[in-house]
Structure 1
Amino acid sequence: MLRPLCLCSALLLLAACDRTQPAPALPEAAETADMQQADGPADAPVTLAGEWRVAGLDGEEFDEAYGIALSADDSEIWWEPRCAAQAVRYRIDANRFESVPPPAPPTAEAGTGADAAVAVCAIGLPERLPEVMAAIRAADRIERTPQNGVRLSGRGHSLTLFGQ
Protein backbone atom coordinates (compact mmCIF):
# COMPACT_ATOMS: atom_id res chain seq x y z
CA MET A 1 0.00 0.00 0.00
CA LEU A 2 2.89 2.30 0.68
CA ARG A 3 4.30 1.64 -2.76
CA PRO A 4 1.33 3.09 -4.76
CA LEU A 5 1.36 6.16 -2.49
CA CYS A 6 5.07 6.76 -3.18
CA LEU A 7 4.50 6.25 -6.89
CA CYS A 8 1.67 8.83 -6.93
CA SER A 9 3.79 11.32 -4.99
CA ALA A 10 6.69 10.87 -7.38
CA LEU A 11 4.44 11.40 -10.41
CA LEU A 12 3.03 14.59 -8.89
CA LEU A 13 6.52 15.93 -8.21
CA LEU A 14 7.64 15.14 -11.76
CA ALA A 15 4.57 16.84 -13.21
CA ALA A 16 5.31 19.96 -11.14
CA CYS A 17 8.93 20.04 -12.33
CA ASP A 18 7.94 19.66 -15.98
CA ARG A 19 6.16 22.99 -16.18
CA THR A 20 7.46 25.01 -19.09
CA GLN A 21 7.74 28.75 -19.16
CA PRO A 22 5.12 30.53 -21.27
CA ALA A 23 6.33 31.71 -24.66
CA PRO A 24 7.62 35.29 -24.62
CA ALA A 25 5.27 37.91 -25.98
CA LEU A 26 5.89 39.09 -29.51
CA PRO A 27 7.80 42.38 -29.61
CA GLU A 28 5.94 45.60 -30.25
CA ALA A 29 6.36 47.25 -33.65
CA ALA A 30 8.86 49.81 -32.27
CA GLU A 31 10.97 47.04 -30.74
CA THR A 32 10.94 45.14 -34.04
CA ALA A 33 12.21 48.23 -35.88
CA ASP A 34 14.99 48.63 -33.30
CA MET A 35 15.99 44.99 -33.75
CA GLN A 36 16.07 45.38 -37.54
CA GLN A 37 18.31 48.45 -37.25
CA ALA A 38 20.64 46.52 -34.93
CA ASP A 39 21.17 43.97 -37.71
CA GLY A 40 22.40 46.65 -40.14
CA PRO A 41 25.35 49.02 -39.81
CA ALA A 42 25.32 51.13 -36.67
CA ASP A 43 26.15 54.80 -36.49
CA ALA A 44 29.68 55.78 -37.43
CA PRO A 45 32.10 55.90 -34.50
CA VAL A 46 33.07 59.34 -33.24
CA THR A 47 36.68 58.31 -32.64
CA LEU A 48 39.08 55.50 -33.49
CA ALA A 49 40.59 55.56 -29.99
CA GLY A 50 41.64 52.04 -29.04
CA GLU A 51 43.50 49.06 -30.44
CA TRP A 52 42.69 47.69 -33.90
CA ARG A 53 43.64 44.86 -36.22
CA VAL A 54 43.47 45.16 -39.99
CA ALA A 55 40.81 42.73 -41.25
CA GLY A 56 40.30 43.93 -44.81
CA LEU A 57 42.05 46.06 -47.41
CA ASP A 58 40.56 47.39 -50.65
CA GLY A 59 37.54 45.09 -50.47
CA GLU A 60 39.54 41.92 -49.83
CA GLU A 61 40.10 40.03 -46.59
CA PHE A 62 43.53 40.81 -45.11
CA ASP A 63 44.83 37.24 -45.15
CA GLU A 64 48.58 37.52 -44.75
CA ALA A 65 50.95 35.31 -42.77
CA TYR A 66 51.30 38.27 -40.40
CA GLY A 67 48.83 40.67 -38.85
CA ILE A 68 48.89 44.43 -38.67
CA ALA A 69 47.78 46.05 -35.43
CA LEU A 70 47.12 49.77 -35.15
CA SER A 71 46.66 51.99 -32.12
CA ALA A 72 44.70 55.22 -32.03
CA ASP A 73 43.63 58.09 -29.84
CA ASP A 74 40.96 60.68 -30.57
CA SER A 75 43.02 62.41 -33.29
CA GLU A 76 45.70 60.03 -34.59
CA ILE A 77 46.06 56.39 -35.68
CA TRP A 78 49.49 54.74 -35.83
CA TRP A 79 51.51 51.56 -36.12
CA GLU A 80 53.92 50.69 -33.32
CA PRO A 81 56.70 51.46 -32.71
CA ARG A 82 55.97 55.18 -32.92
CA CYS A 83 59.56 55.87 -33.97
CA ALA A 84 58.76 54.16 -37.32
CA ALA A 85 56.82 57.35 -38.20
CA GLN A 86 53.78 55.45 -39.50
CA ALA A 87 50.91 57.62 -38.31
CA VAL A 88 47.95 59.54 -39.70
CA ARG A 89 46.22 62.40 -37.92
CA TYR A 90 42.46 62.38 -38.53
CA ARG A 91 39.15 64.08 -37.88
CA ILE A 92 35.64 62.52 -37.82
CA ASP A 93 32.40 64.43 -38.37
CA ALA A 94 29.33 62.15 -38.45
CA ASN A 95 30.22 59.61 -41.16
CA ARG A 96 32.84 61.85 -42.80
CA PHE A 97 36.48 60.92 -42.26
CA GLU A 98 39.34 63.27 -43.04
CA SER A 99 43.07 62.77 -42.69
CA VAL A 100 44.74 65.89 -41.35
CA PRO A 101 48.22 67.01 -42.39
CA PRO A 102 50.75 66.61 -39.58
CA PRO A 103 51.94 69.75 -37.82
CA ALA A 104 54.96 71.47 -39.32
CA PRO A 105 58.27 70.33 -37.82
CA PRO A 106 59.90 72.72 -35.36
CA THR A 107 62.29 75.24 -36.86
CA ALA A 108 65.64 76.54 -35.63
CA GLU A 109 64.15 80.06 -35.47
CA ALA A 110 61.70 78.86 -32.85
CA GLY A 111 64.65 78.25 -30.54
CA THR A 112 64.23 74.51 -30.57
CA GLY A 113 67.35 73.64 -32.54
CA ALA A 114 68.55 70.12 -33.19
CA ASP A 115 67.29 68.97 -29.79
CA ALA A 116 63.73 68.96 -31.16
CA ALA A 117 64.50 66.43 -33.90
CA VAL A 118 62.20 63.42 -33.81
CA ALA A 119 63.99 60.12 -33.40
CA VAL A 120 63.23 57.71 -36.23
CA CYS A 121 64.10 54.06 -35.77
CA ALA A 122 65.40 51.82 -38.50
CA ILE A 123 62.91 48.97 -38.40
CA GLY A 124 61.50 46.70 -41.05
CA LEU A 125 57.89 47.50 -41.87
CA PRO A 126 55.26 44.87 -42.66
CA GLU A 127 55.11 44.53 -46.45
CA ARG A 128 51.53 45.82 -46.82
CA LEU A 129 51.68 48.54 -44.14
CA PRO A 130 52.21 51.31 -46.76
CA GLU A 131 48.97 50.19 -48.46
CA VAL A 132 47.13 50.29 -45.12
CA MET A 133 48.37 53.80 -44.36
CA ALA A 134 47.53 54.94 -47.91
CA ALA A 135 43.96 53.61 -47.50
CA ILE A 136 43.61 55.60 -44.26
CA ARG A 137 44.88 58.77 -45.95
CA ALA A 138 42.52 58.25 -48.93
CA ALA A 139 39.43 57.67 -46.78
CA ASP A 140 36.65 60.24 -46.70
CA ARG A 141 33.94 58.04 -45.13
CA ILE A 142 33.72 56.05 -41.90
CA GLU A 143 31.03 53.54 -40.98
CA ARG A 144 30.44 50.64 -38.65
CA THR A 145 30.11 47.22 -40.29
CA PRO A 146 27.34 44.74 -39.42
CA GLN A 147 30.04 42.71 -37.61
CA ASN A 148 30.79 45.75 -35.39
CA GLY A 149 34.01 46.57 -37.19
CA VAL A 150 34.93 49.94 -38.66
CA ARG A 151 35.26 50.56 -42.39
CA LEU A 152 37.14 53.55 -43.80
CA SER A 153 36.65 54.16 -47.51
CA GLY A 154 37.23 56.69 -50.24
CA ARG A 155 39.11 57.45 -53.45
CA GLY A 156 39.03 53.82 -54.57
CA HIS A 157 40.39 52.35 -51.32
CA SER A 158 38.90 50.79 -48.21
CA LEU A 159 40.16 49.49 -44.89
CA THR A 160 38.25 47.31 -42.41
CA LEU A 161 39.35 47.32 -38.78
CA PHE A 162 38.23 45.18 -35.83
CA GLY A 163 38.79 46.12 -32.21
CA GLN A 164 41.28 44.10 -30.20
Structure 2
Amino acid sequence: MKILATILAPAFALAACQPVQDNPEEGDATPAIDSTASAPDNAAAADKIDVPQSLVGEYRVAGIDGKELDIPVGFALSITDTEIHDGQGCGARHWRYAYEKGVLETKRFLMHEDNAANCPIFRRTREWIALGEAIDAATGAERTRANGIELSGNGRSVTLFSQ
Protein backbone atom coordinates (compact mmCIF):
# COMPACT_ATOMS: atom_id res chain seq x y z
CA MET A 1 0.00 0.00 0.00
CA LYS A 2 2.87 2.39 0.84
CA ILE A 3 4.45 1.67 -2.55
CA LEU A 4 1.19 2.51 -4.34
CA ALA A 5 0.84 5.76 -2.37
CA THR A 6 4.46 6.65 -3.17
CA ILE A 7 3.84 6.12 -6.89
CA LEU A 8 0.48 7.94 -7.04
CA ALA A 9 1.40 11.01 -4.93
CA PRO A 10 3.61 12.63 -7.62
CA ALA A 11 0.97 11.90 -10.29
CA PHE A 12 -1.71 13.69 -8.28
CA ALA A 13 0.64 16.60 -7.61
CA LEU A 14 1.37 16.98 -11.33
CA ALA A 15 -2.32 16.76 -12.22
CA ALA A 16 -3.08 19.63 -9.85
CA CYS A 17 -0.68 21.85 -11.80
CA GLN A 18 -2.49 21.44 -15.13
CA PRO A 19 -4.34 24.50 -16.52
CA VAL A 20 -8.10 24.64 -16.22
CA GLN A 21 -10.14 25.48 -19.30
CA ASP A 22 -12.46 28.42 -18.73
CA ASN A 23 -15.76 28.64 -20.58
CA PRO A 24 -16.24 32.38 -21.14
CA GLU A 25 -19.90 31.91 -22.05
CA GLU A 26 -20.89 30.58 -18.63
CA GLY A 27 -22.08 33.39 -16.38
CA ASP A 28 -20.33 36.12 -18.37
CA ALA A 29 -21.57 39.33 -16.74
CA THR A 30 -19.19 41.59 -18.67
CA PRO A 31 -21.18 44.14 -20.66
CA ALA A 32 -20.61 44.24 -24.40
CA ILE A 33 -17.98 46.73 -25.49
CA ASP A 34 -17.46 48.69 -28.65
CA SER A 35 -15.51 46.50 -31.06
CA THR A 36 -14.00 49.62 -32.62
CA ALA A 37 -12.33 50.63 -29.33
CA SER A 38 -8.61 51.11 -29.68
CA ALA A 39 -6.06 48.89 -27.99
CA PRO A 40 -3.83 50.34 -25.28
CA ASP A 41 -1.26 52.89 -26.48
CA ASN A 42 1.62 50.74 -25.25
CA ALA A 43 0.32 47.28 -26.21
CA ALA A 44 3.72 46.25 -27.56
CA ALA A 45 5.70 47.45 -24.55
CA ALA A 46 8.31 44.94 -23.47
CA ASP A 47 7.24 44.80 -19.82
CA LYS A 48 3.70 43.62 -20.63
CA ILE A 49 3.26 39.88 -20.94
CA ASP A 50 -0.40 38.95 -20.81
CA VAL A 51 -3.97 40.13 -20.91
CA PRO A 52 -5.84 39.38 -17.66
CA GLN A 53 -9.08 37.44 -18.11
CA SER A 54 -10.80 39.50 -15.43
CA LEU A 55 -10.14 42.68 -13.51
CA VAL A 56 -12.29 41.76 -10.49
CA GLY A 57 -10.42 42.14 -7.21
CA GLU A 58 -9.04 44.40 -4.50
CA TYR A 59 -5.91 46.32 -5.48
CA ARG A 60 -3.37 48.76 -4.16
CA VAL A 61 -2.27 51.45 -6.57
CA ALA A 62 1.48 51.00 -7.08
CA GLY A 63 2.07 53.54 -9.84
CA ILE A 64 0.48 56.28 -11.89
CA ASP A 65 1.70 57.29 -15.35
CA GLY A 66 4.79 55.09 -15.09
CA LYS A 67 5.94 56.54 -11.77
CA GLU A 68 5.95 54.61 -8.51
CA LEU A 69 3.40 55.94 -6.05
CA ASP A 70 5.44 57.24 -3.12
CA ILE A 71 3.10 59.05 -0.74
CA PRO A 72 2.33 58.61 2.98
CA VAL A 73 -1.21 57.29 2.37
CA GLY A 74 -1.83 54.46 -0.09
CA PHE A 75 -4.63 54.34 -2.63
CA ALA A 76 -6.79 51.26 -3.16
CA LEU A 77 -9.24 50.25 -5.87
CA SER A 78 -12.09 47.75 -5.61
CA ILE A 79 -13.13 46.31 -8.95
CA THR A 80 -16.37 44.35 -9.32
CA ASP A 81 -17.79 42.77 -12.48
CA THR A 82 -19.03 46.16 -13.70
CA GLU A 83 -17.65 48.93 -11.46
CA ILE A 84 -14.40 50.43 -10.21
CA HIS A 85 -14.44 52.19 -6.82
CA ASP A 86 -11.67 54.16 -5.14
CA GLY A 87 -13.36 54.39 -1.76
CA GLN A 88 -16.53 55.39 -0.01
CA GLY A 89 -17.92 58.67 1.25
CA CYS A 90 -16.35 62.07 0.80
CA GLY A 91 -14.48 62.37 -2.50
CA ALA A 92 -14.96 58.73 -3.51
CA ARG A 93 -15.12 58.09 -7.25
CA HIS A 94 -16.91 55.33 -9.11
CA TRP A 95 -16.67 54.19 -12.71
CA ARG A 96 -18.69 51.73 -14.75
CA TYR A 97 -16.57 49.69 -17.10
CA ALA A 98 -16.65 47.07 -19.81
CA TYR A 99 -13.67 44.78 -20.35
CA GLU A 100 -13.00 42.09 -22.91
CA LYS A 101 -9.75 40.58 -24.21
CA GLY A 102 -7.59 43.44 -22.99
CA VAL A 103 -9.87 46.22 -24.25
CA LEU A 104 -11.26 48.45 -21.50
CA GLU A 105 -13.87 51.19 -21.54
CA THR A 106 -14.50 53.28 -18.43
CA LYS A 107 -17.10 55.91 -17.66
CA ARG A 108 -17.15 57.84 -14.42
CA PHE A 109 -20.68 57.79 -13.06
CA LEU A 110 -20.48 59.04 -9.51
CA MET A 111 -18.31 61.22 -7.33
CA HIS A 112 -19.22 62.07 -3.79
CA GLU A 113 -18.40 65.73 -3.33
CA ASP A 114 -20.01 66.07 0.08
CA ASN A 115 -18.38 69.19 1.47
CA ALA A 116 -15.08 68.67 -0.37
CA ALA A 117 -13.25 71.00 2.02
CA ASN A 118 -13.76 68.40 4.77
CA CYS A 119 -12.51 65.45 2.70
CA PRO A 120 -9.29 63.79 3.82
CA ILE A 121 -6.28 65.69 2.47
CA PHE A 122 -5.17 62.71 0.32
CA ARG A 123 -8.40 63.09 -1.66
CA ARG A 124 -7.14 66.44 -2.95
CA THR A 125 -3.53 65.63 -3.88
CA ARG A 126 -2.14 65.72 -7.41
CA GLU A 127 -1.64 61.93 -7.20
CA TRP A 128 -5.31 61.38 -6.36
CA ILE A 129 -6.35 63.63 -9.24
CA ALA A 130 -3.92 61.84 -11.60
CA LEU A 131 -5.35 58.47 -10.56
CA GLY A 132 -8.85 59.53 -11.59
CA GLU A 133 -7.63 61.00 -14.87
CA ALA A 134 -5.67 57.84 -15.70
CA ILE A 135 -8.69 55.60 -15.06
CA ASP A 136 -10.83 57.95 -17.17
CA ALA A 137 -8.30 57.62 -20.02
CA ALA A 138 -7.77 53.83 -19.82
CA THR A 139 -8.52 51.82 -22.96
CA GLY A 140 -6.78 48.55 -22.11
CA ALA A 141 -5.47 46.25 -19.41
CA GLU A 142 -2.37 44.07 -19.39
CA ARG A 143 -0.53 41.98 -16.85
CA THR A 144 3.00 43.16 -16.04
CA ARG A 145 6.06 40.94 -15.60
CA ALA A 146 5.80 41.59 -11.85
CA ASN A 147 2.27 40.07 -11.95
CA GLY A 148 0.55 43.41 -11.56
CA ILE A 149 -2.16 44.81 -13.78
CA GLU A 150 -1.69 47.98 -15.78
CA LEU A 151 -4.69 49.95 -16.96
CA SER A 152 -3.50 52.23 -19.75
CA GLY A 153 -4.49 54.36 -22.69
CA ASN A 154 -4.33 57.87 -24.11
CA GLY A 155 -0.84 58.36 -22.67
CA ARG A 156 -1.90 57.54 -19.10
CA SER A 157 -1.50 54.44 -16.91
CA VAL A 158 -2.26 52.98 -13.49
CA THR A 159 -0.30 50.01 -12.11
CA LEU A 160 -2.20 47.80 -9.65
CA PHE A 161 -1.20 44.91 -7.40
CA SER A 162 -3.61 42.51 -5.69
CA GLN A 163 -4.17 42.96 -1.98
Same fold (TM over 0.5): yes
Q: Which has the higher strand share?
A: 2
Q: 8 Å contact 2:94–2:108 — kept in the other structure?
A: no
Counterpart secondary structure, 2:134: helix
Alignment partner of 1:123 is 2:119: yes
Question: Is contact 2:48–2:142 with CA below 8 Å preserved after alignment?
Answer: no
Instruction: Give the one of 32, 36, 52 matched to 1:44.
Output: 52
Contact 2:139 2:152 (C-alpha < 8 Å) held by counterparts? yes
Instruction: Give 1:44 shift.
Output: 2.3
Higher helix share: 1
Instruction: Decide whether aligned partners of structure 1 residues 78 and 52 sit closer, same or farther in structure 2, where only a CA change above 3 A counts.
Output: same
Q: CA deviation at 1:82?
A: 4.3
Deviation >6 Å, runs of 4+: none
DSSP 3-state at the match of 2:131 = helix
Is this contact kept in 2: 1:88–1:133, CA < 8 A?
A: no
Change in 2 beyond 3 A, CA 1:41/1:82? farther
Query: 1:146 and 2:145 equivalent?
Result: yes
- The alpha carbon displacement at 1:42 in A equals 2.7
In the superposition, the TM-score normalised over structure 1's length comes to: 0.59
Say whether residues 1:58 and 2:57 are aligned partners: no
- 1:91–1:100 contact (8 Å) kept in structure 2: no
CA RMSD of superposed structures (Å): 2.5
Structure 2 gaps of 5+ residues are: 1-46
Q: Which runs of 5+ in 1 are unaligned?
A: 1-38, 104-117
Shift of 1:91: 0.8
**1:133 counterpart residue number:** 132
| 1:87 and 2:107 aligned | no
Pick from 40, 56, 69 the counterpart of residue 76 of structure 2.
69
TM-score, normalised on structure 2? 0.60
Question: Do the aligned partners of 2:96 and 2:107 also contact (CA within 8 Å) in 1?
Answer: yes
Identity %, equivalent residues = 38
| Per-residue deviation, 1:87 | 1.3
